Amino acid sequence: MQSQEQKKSAKLRSKTEPNMEEDKGQNVTIKKDAMLQALTASLGNVTEAAEKIGIARKTHYEWLKDDAEYSAAVASLKNVALDFAESQLKKLMEGAERQALTHDGEVVTIKDAPNTSAVIFYLKTQGKQRGYIERQELSTEIKSINITIDGTNI
């Protein structure tokens, strides 16, 4: 049984000494936040993000399984990668602008022609309701069919 003095001493230590469990939880939270930032920067590439912050891929997948809030945050990052890809497709469809240096040392802006493949891809995936789809037209001609059952033509 603890004396009053021991209880007071333990209570005082708990207020002044760091709580290891609390520190561990804060460290995990910091790592999760860092992982979310790294996933954003890598457009969702788990290996790249995990290596950047120094955790195992397995740790990320454990967090996904055990932490609904973390899992939801990771799921929302998929839209970041999709938005990036869409913005790159838009640039290709518009024709990229780039800077070039002339022989005289002058900087000029060159605008490339729109990328036809990018335009076709966009129309095939987003313009289906307007008829921009690939389909095969099949036509057949049936002349006659002879069916024989037990020696009898039907």
Q: Tell me the pLDDT tens digit for each residue of 18-52.
A: 444 445 667 888 999 999 999 999 999 999 999 99
What pLDDT shows up at residue 1?
Answer: 52
What pLDDT shows up at residue 151?
Answer: 78
The proportion of the chain whose per-residue pLDDT surpasses 70, expressed as a percent, equals 81
What pLDDT shows up at residue 53?
Answer: 95
Report yes or no: 67 and 35 within 8 Å, Cβ to Cβ: no
Mean pLDDT of 97-108: 92
What pLDDT shows up at residue 127?
Answer: 86
